[in-house]
Chains A and B, each alone.
Chain A
């Protein structure tokens, strides 16, 4: 076996894939959030629609979006494979369930991941697919013809069911991040007496702040726009 294949199929290699793709997605979440916060400008969606146009046409962004798809797929598929392997390795579960020594998130990364995947599909169908393949009204901003994605978003977030769905999903993502953030560093072997406690704190903060900021978007749009 080639050494690289050997590495990535070993138990540690598989973790490295999870952690590298995870780290990539963690960064993506931040970038994505910064863009989306433009939904909250009081400009009738002008900034956001221009941003959406930029995101769908810039070749560099296109390239990185393929990377993103690959990362999500790899993270999800590898996660499923590990989940099933680990369940098999454990065999029968204990009669008495012990939840005192580990965090809820760490025990349920698989299920959290499944929910996130479902959310992701919904999210993509609602916006990405519409933008790409569906029919979105065109508007003119500063003399430029752009798709009015803002209205699509606004329409969606005026529906309380979707608001609730998004809030729950953010809760799930927060949980997933809560374990995933510091876990990424541990998997990469970056555990340090001095710095690990700090990384853990940042991880907790990140897993709280980012989903909260995301959750704020549908809430604000529902109540104020």
Chain B
């Protein structure tokens, strides 16, 4: 199939970016990223600079790949990362627009590559259980109800790709933050520090310059791991109650 790609090119963080058009010959069995590999091989063979885009595991779990394809983070398929999207979902002659994640908290590094370390800093601010190696009791000491554990797992499947921020018209990071807060709050091991954690993580989220949630639901719709809005409600609840409780403020 013949495709026209309209790709965002930007030399570096400070440079002015622009769209560039390329033709590429793709096979329907290719993954989206393999199609870009073909383009890049072609560019290199012409001694031109290839398009920078990020990717690593190419099996939908590392969270590295991040392309906005025709206005949607990770493309049109539900619950699918960019690397798992295949060309059979496109038609011969299509024009595909490829853009980087757009959010001020994710500055562009080059072309389609953005800096997502804001997420790391949010986790560093409190997204963990404060337990040192070797301090743990036996793994079976605290039974955890199966469904409760399953709900924690659902939240914990977040791959930190940032599609929620990219999809959100406000560039809000609430889905990401709420997934971690929920994962740990739903387990007895994480419950202990819940109030402290939620305050510190929200403080950091706000400091990073993400926008405010207006409940559009765009994040949930484009999350490749289908993390749910109920987590954001839980975050709101936990944050509000922790701020109005007598516990220490951070």
Is A bound to B? yes
Question: What residues make up the interface of A, taking CB atoms closer than 8 Å to B?
Answer: 3, 6-7, 10-16, 82, 85-86, 88-98, 100-103, 106-107, 109, 179, 182-183, 186-191, 193, 196
B214 engages A12 (CB within 8 Å): no
Rounded to whole Å, the gap between the CB of B115 and the closest CB of chain A is 13
A94: chain B residues within 8 A (beta carbon) = 68, 71, 99, 102
CA A90 to CA B244, docked complex, whole Å: 30
**In chain B, residues 64-105, which have Cβ atoms closer than 8 Å to a Cβ of chain A?**
68, 70-72, 97, 99, 102-105
Number of A-B pairs, beta carbon distance below 8 Å:
140
Interface size on B, residues (CB 8 A): 50
Most chain B CB inside 10 Å of its own CB: which residue of A95, A97, A183: A95
A90 engages B104 (CB within 8 Å): yes
A86: chain B residues within 8 A (beta carbon) = 169-172, 211-212, 214
**In chain B, residues 111-161, which have Cβ atoms closer than 8 Å to a Cβ of chain A?**
none
CA A14 to CA B172, docked complex, whole Å: 13
* Secondary structure type dominating chain A contacts: helix
**In chain B, residues 207-228, which have Cβ atoms closer than 8 Å to a Cβ of chain A?**
209-218, 221-222
CA A86 to CA B154, docked complex, whole Å: 28
CA A12 to CA B232, docked complex, whole Å: 10
Rounded to whole Å, the gap between the CB of B177 and the closest CB of chain A is 10
- Closest A residue, CB atoms, query B249: A3
B171 engages A101 (CB within 8 Å): no
Q: Which residue of B169, B205, B212, B222 contacts A14 across the interface (Cβ within 8 Å)?
A: B212
- Closest A residue, CB atoms, query B170: A86
Pairs across A and B, CB under 8 Å, 15 listed:
A10-B206, A11-B206, A12-B239, A13-B243, A15-B236, A86-B211, A89-B103, A94-B71, A95-B97, A101-B72, A182-B215, A183-B214, A186-B229, A190-B233, A191-B230
